[in-house]
Structure 1
Amino acid sequence: MSLACQKDSYLRELKCVVKSCREASLKQVVNGKKAEVKGYEVVLSDTVLFPEGGGQPDDRGTINGIGVLSVVRRGLEAVHFVTSELKCGEEVHVQVDWSRRWDNMQQHSAQHLISALAISMYQFNTTAWNLGESTSFVELDTAEMTTEQMLALERSTNEKIQSNLKMFPRWIDDKESPEAKEIRCRGLPDDHEGSIRVVTIEDVDVNLCCGTHVSSLAHLQMVKLLGVEKGKKGKVNLVFIAGDRVLRYVAGCFEREKVFTAMLKGGPDDHVDLLQKIQNSLKVAQKNALTLLRESAMHECERLNGMSEPPAYHCLYKKEGDSEFMNIIANNVSNKNMLLFLSCGEERGAGLFLVSGDPGDVQLLGPKIAELLEGRGAGKQGRYQGKCNAIQQRNKVEELIRTHFNR
């Protein structure tokens, strides 16, 4: 397959002829849910829209102003999915979504450069790569990559970019030729037909690839290696961004830096120290709050235990309470037959609840209370407790308990 977009990755539009158009459907994620879209599969005499391949996503664009939702390769043909029918034999105008294409070109070309230098510098072979929406990664066949190695690789990568080295494609007709077999490649698709495409980085790399690339490494602007993550068994993922993504990344960091400076009332150089002080203060405050919460629970127990005529049931809600708060009360109330309905959490949101007391009452009321609170729970030894989504329904629970004891 040799498409216009593969011959000239900078070509943004093209006039061509519709070879075929047939009804089809496409599964897509719409508003977070999988949906089946009805439309047409269109094959053109040529195209500037790249079909998915080589780890690079497919292009987006238009045919006569109609949005193309997908482009896939089938043998030697690129199949475009659109939602409107096109007539066979008619001439159409194809345009590519250039911002998406340019980003894909920069990230894919950067991957070639990073992979080539990782081999030459450390003998780390690339076994896979992923072009993500915000960051990408190269999977390297090594169990470890040190920070020093990563920084050296980043320096070398950007030095090659500054050298303005050329990057270009060419085609080899015989894939069984000695020249073809010597070229670095992770393997051709099983259904590959025709000549093979070779992408060269001047004085750096020669690699089989079907994707779109920059014509000069200078068009990458720069590469930033963000870090190394654990990959598949015995491998690491080297995370990177290139080109315009670096500019967006720096702009985002700067905006967050301004926000932190205003909130912390200190410059960027002091952010870490200021955050550490806040974290330390927060730990002390949380410890004090927990102590007060425990004391509050014990005071409630003392109040209930000190009653000359303890009630048959007692309901208590404490917004800032937690599971420990409720269990302290349930464990320390002396009258184990008293039905306790304890709850905590945001007034209009999710929370926790606990029911304790006479096993018969708990067994009967626990599941009903959970249902009223739109939650779920589990019972054991005179207790029923769990999580819920509607703490505000406490009044209905209290009515249920009141009815139970007044029947």
Structure 2
Amino acid sequence: MLKDRLYYADSYCKSFTTNILKEAQDPDSNYYVVLENTAFYPTGGGQPHDTGTLNGIQVLNVEEVENEIRHTLAESLGSANQVEGVIDWERRFDHMQQHAGQHILSAAFVELLGFPTVSFHLGREIVSIDLDVEEVSPEQLNAVEKLANDIILENRQIEIKWVTEDELHHYPLRKQLAVTDEIRLVIIPDYDYNGCGGTHPSSTGQARMLKILSTEKHRGKVRVHFVCGGRVLQQLQRKNLELAVTSRLLSAPDGGVAEAVQKLLETNHSLEKSLADAQEALLVFEAKALLDQRDQGIVKALFTGRTVQQLQKLARLLVAESDDILVLLVAENNDRLQFVATRGTSVQMSMKQVSSAILPLIKGKGGGNDMFVQGGGERLVSAEQLLTVMEESCNKDWVT
């Protein structure tokens, strides 16, 4: 029976001795054993499996497959008939803290706001629940977090009861159960009644503390990220270190980091605007220089490391200065070639003939209209060759 499994009989069981029922290899040639009984919790219900050792050999995974709990090992147990199992207690107790915190938090969302939890994930560093709502306000999160920590501070007992389906009506369950046989209830009296197959501490106080870290929208629901117990201290230490480093970099006290960052952002925005203005002025100067170098009404140029956006802006500046020119620009960027071709308003030709001529040469893609085309592709020819083909594709009698 489920309730006879050691991890259910005593969540605080750290070591045990039992018989080996089966040793085999899975399809990936990993060794696994099935035991007469086990204190290793198998992955399930949003909670990861336990780790530890069997006869000193590392347990890599524990999962229930075809009604048997398989303990995947780093190597074979050899001819042993019995094993001594040792649970990684730090990992187990962390999972117990997080899972208890999830029950407390989910119940707080229901009690205060009527928001049900629809899924739960216990990650390596952060825990999350998904709420069946579209939005949660900061004020609501603060209220829920306070209630959850009040329940933890009260150190209420966490009770485990095995009941039948006929007995369920005695308990105000938070949500409907999917199982009908060997029903396991996790109960925080006068607060939360929930069917659950995970491991939990014996009292809420052992969860120590709960902190909501952030929320995000996920598939039409709100995902709440949080931590409990020792993970709260880990998060505090990590964030305190980040704050200290940032404080030193900004030469600002811890309490003045936000103000210093705001000033830095404002300065950066001002510098970016000044740089954009300078680049714009340089493009205007460059456009005038290129116009002076036009050859029979064609302005052409090669560049290295220019973006297609820069080519577009330069081309538009050129035709704005003179409406009777053709502009042919090519840029090399690593292993790619990009181009822009445009014409002044008094020129009678379609620039599509330019892109049609060169795109096959570079296995490229492009778009545009009769006045302006752009595109890019692989550097299968040199930039000089591409520019030559662009020029040759133009009708020599195009100028009006």
Name the TM tier (shorter chain).
0.7 to 0.9
- Deviation readout 1:225-263 (Å, 9 max, x if unpaired): 234443554x53333211111111111111111111112
User: For this pair of structures, how many residues does the alignment match?
Assistant: 375
Contact 1:297 1:326 in 2 (8 A): no
1:65, CA displacement in angstroms? 3.6
Assess, with a 3 A threshold, how the Cα gap between structure 1 residues 244 and 231 changes in structure 2: closer, same or farther. same
1:200 aligns with 2:187: yes
Which position in structure 2 is the counterpart of 1:14?
A: 16
Query: SS in structure 2 opposite 1:294?
Result: helix
Which position in structure 1 is the counterpart of 2:243?
A: 257
- Deviation readout 1:3-49 (Å, 9 max, x if unpaired): 21122222222222221233323xxxxxxxxxxx3324432111121
Identity within the alignment, %: 27
TM-score (norm 1): 0.78
Amino acid at match of 2:198: G
Contact 1:363 1:384 in 2 (8 A): no
Which position in structure 1 is the counterpart of 2:346?
A: none
TM-score (norm 2): 0.79
- The runs of 5 or more residues in structure 1 that have no matched partner are 26-36
**The one of 142, 147, 164 aligned to 1:156:** 147
- Mapped to 1, the partners of 2:376 and 2:187 lie a distance apart of 62
Amino acid at match of 2:124: E
Alignment of 1:3-402 (within 5 A): 3-25=5-27, 37-74=28-65, 77-82=68-73, 84-86=75-77, 90-172=81-163, 174-178=164-168, 182-189=172-179, 193=181, 195-233=182-220, 235-307=221-293, 309=295, 313-317=300-304, 319=305, 321-331=306-316, 332=318, 339-343=328-332, 353-356=338-341, 362-366=355-359, 368-369=361-362, 377-381=365-369, 383-386=373-376, 397-398=382-383, 400-401=385-386
1:133, CA displacement in angstroms? 3.2
1:211, CA displacement in angstroms? 0.5
Assess, with a 3 A threshold, how the Cα gap between structure 1 residues 74 and 180 changes in structure 2: closer, same or farther. farther
Q: Please identify the structure whose Cα radius of gyration is greater.
A: 2
- The runs of 5 or more residues in structure 2 that have no matched partner are 343-350, 393-400
Query: SS in structure 2 opposite 1:149?
Result: helix
Query: SS in structure 1 opposite 2:29?
Result: strand
Assess, with a 3 A threshold, how the Cα gap between structure 1 residues 125 and 339 changes in structure 2: closer, same or farther. closer
Assess, with a 3 A threshold, how the Cα gap between structure 1 residues 118 and 364 changes in structure 2: closer, same or farther. same
Assess, with a 3 A threshold, how the Cα gap between structure 1 residues 399 and 145 changes in structure 2: closer, same or farther. closer
When structure 1 is superposed on structure 2, of 125-134 and 330-339 the one drifting more is: 330-339
Amino acid at match of 2:242: R
Contact 2:152 2:205 in 1 (8 A): yes
- Mapped to 2, the partners of 1:162 and 1:402 lie a distance apart of 75
Contact 2:315 2:327 in 1 (8 A): no
